[in-house]
Amino acid sequence: MAKGKGTVFFCQNCGYESSKWMGQCPACKEWNSFVEEKVVKASPNTRARRMEAKVTPITEVSINECERISVGFQELDRVLGGGLVKGSLILVGGDPGIGKSTILLQVCKNLSEQGRKVLYISGEESMEQIKMRADRIGTFGNSLSLFCETSLTLIEEVIDGEKPEVVVIDSVQTMYGEDVSSAPGSVSQVREATNTFMQIAKGKGITIFLVGHVTKEGVVAGPRVLEHMVDTVLYFEGDRHASYRILRGVKNRFGSTNEIGVFEMQQTGLREVENPSEFMLEGRPKDASGSVVACSMEGSRPILLEVQALVCQSNLGIPRRTTVGAELNRVNQLMAVLEKRGGFHLGSCDAYVNIAGGIRMVEPAIDLAIAAAIISSYKERIMPPGTILFGEIGLSGEVRAVSMAEQRVREAKKLGFLRCVLPESNRKGLPEIEGIEIVGISSVTEILSLCKA
Ligand code: TYD
Ligand code: MG
């Protein structure tokens, strides 16, 4: 940190610190994100605490039986690693309007129904606005209190007085500490706020949810700045035009990451989607060329989704290829493999690949389904509707094994699929599963024969 000068420059996107202004952040490559801020002095109580510092051998550290509190949503409990841990600090990030305030208010409702004392602190909305949202969600008990404030000192005092079990801060970017001179939402303020809440959470054993907006313009510091300071980071994603929302665990000190929870936004708040596969496959065309079903793993959970492709002769010098939900480079690579190893003349074709439902999938296991959708559309041959495919495709056109094949097959069977096409090397290790035919393939040249004549 630059000493003596009194100010430093922070990247508002990732929190990178520099003594000079820079056009582009060397860490996150964001342009024009540097803002000058006053240097924050280390808080004095660190020095006081140094007196009582002592080291302990690991064998002598005792763990208090860590109690998990259910938040009333199974989907969220799973993402949290089995419920809320007392005294943890959880960051919920996401685009504005995605539903962060809604889900946290619903969590407050569920917790207050269990008789727990909950405090919802908003720096963005008035009590009336929160009450209006609450009325849409349902009826609330008495153990939930609201507080509209942005000053960290006042909030600390109120938490001390109220002694709640769970606190929600909506949002961390509106909070400010008086000792920091920069504006609310700046890197120093957001760090100061998070630090304060971390001390409250750890010191008093209160579970705190922090809401953080993701911003692209770098007007306020994004949640990335805080990721390393909190225990758990959850991101709320989803297409604002579609009604489903995905809650993704990005970091979790108390559970595994890469778990997702699926929700649907309704008139009365968010509702859990217990069977996302069914949800994703709703309205799927039967007997249409270019439409196949794939299975992708999201953490420990298989999700079936529909992959669509439209391949047609191009009138352009450079054929147009676009993707929604899948990676464009991956699709281009798969088309090159199909051209060279499969003998399909796709070089002069436009291709549009879409993962229905607006969900974004990057797992290589959907390669086989993308390739099958492309071939099905190109050859105008239909993949029988009861078929599901998964497998990774290599550059030699080989179909490679993927992890957790059995779970994927079981999920397909649960949803009534009759045939599962998977890598030959996976088929060998698979136990007999009744009611579903298993077809192992080892090369892209075999895909066409799976389609209806
Ligand atoms: P909100 O929770 O305010 O988003 P955030 O806090 O992430 O900015 O969610 C706002 C959106 O959700 C808004 O567009 C309206 C919609 N919504 C519903 O569709 N149904 C509901 O019951 C509620 C409360 C909100
Ligand atoms: Mg909000």
Mean pLDDT of 263-285: 87
pLDDT digits (tens, 9 = 90+) for 148-174: 999 999 999 999 999 999 999 998 989
Is residue 362 pLDDT above 60, yes or no? yes
Is residue 448 pLDDT above 80, yes or no? yes
Task: State in Å: Cα 430 to ligand 1 middle.
Answer: 44
Beta strand spans in 180-259 (E): 207-213, 232-237, 244-252
Nearest C-alpha neighbor of 353 from the set 330, 337, 384: 330
The tokens describing 414, both together, are: 């649960």
Is residue 183 pLDDT above 70, yes or no? yes
Residue 234 DSSP class: E
Is residue 382 pLDDT above 60, yes or no? yes
The reported pLDDT for the residue numbered 286 is 82
The reported pLDDT for the residue numbered 219 is 47
Task: State in Å: Cα 265 to ligand 1 middle.
Answer: 8
pLDDT digits (tens, 9 = 90+) for 281-340: 888 888 899 999 999 988 778 889 999 999 999 998 899 999 998 999 999 999 999 999
DSSP conformation letters of 375-437: HHHHHT-PPPTTEEE--EE-TTSBEEP-S-HHHHHHHHHHTT--EEEEEHHHHHTPPP-TT-E
Nearest C-alpha neighbor of 217 from the set 91, 35, 32: 32
In the chain, what's the furthest Cα-to-Cα distance? Answer: 80
Is residue 222 pLDDT above 80, yes or no? no
Contact 99, 213 (CB under 8 A): no
Given ligand 1 and candidates 95, 102, 243, which is best to mutate, with the most ligand atoms within 8 Å of its CB? 102
Ligand 1 contact via 131 beta carbon (within 6 Å): no
Contact 35, 9 (CB under 8 A): yes
Look at residue 351 and give its three-state secondary structure: strand
Atom 22 (ligand 1): residue with closest C-alpha? 269
Phi, psi of 405 (to 5 degrees): -65, -40
The position carrying tokens 């599963």 is: 433
The position carrying tokens 């959907």 is: 366
Per the prediction, the chain carries an average pLDDT of 88
d(CA 136, CA 132): 7
Look at 17-31, 103-117, 195-209, 321-335 and tell me which has the smallest mean pLDDT.
17-31
Q: pTM of the predicted model, to two decimals?
A: 0.77
Of the chain, the percentage scoring pLDDT greater than 90 comes to: 53
Look at residue 23 and give its three-state secondary structure: coil
Ligand nearest to the CA of 106: 1
The reported pLDDT for the residue numbered 452 is 87
Specify the length of the chain in residues.
453
The reported pLDDT for the residue numbered 2 is 43
Look at 133-137, 202-206, 275-279, 445-449 and tell me which has the smallest mean pLDDT.
275-279
Position 88, amino acid: S
Is residue 40 pLDDT above 70, yes or no? no
Tell me which range, 38-47, 120-129, 242-251, 272-281, is most confidently predicted by mean pLDDT: 120-129
The reported pLDDT for the residue numbered 1 is 45
Tell me which range, 25-29, 215-219, 320-324, is most confidently predicted by mean pLDDT: 320-324
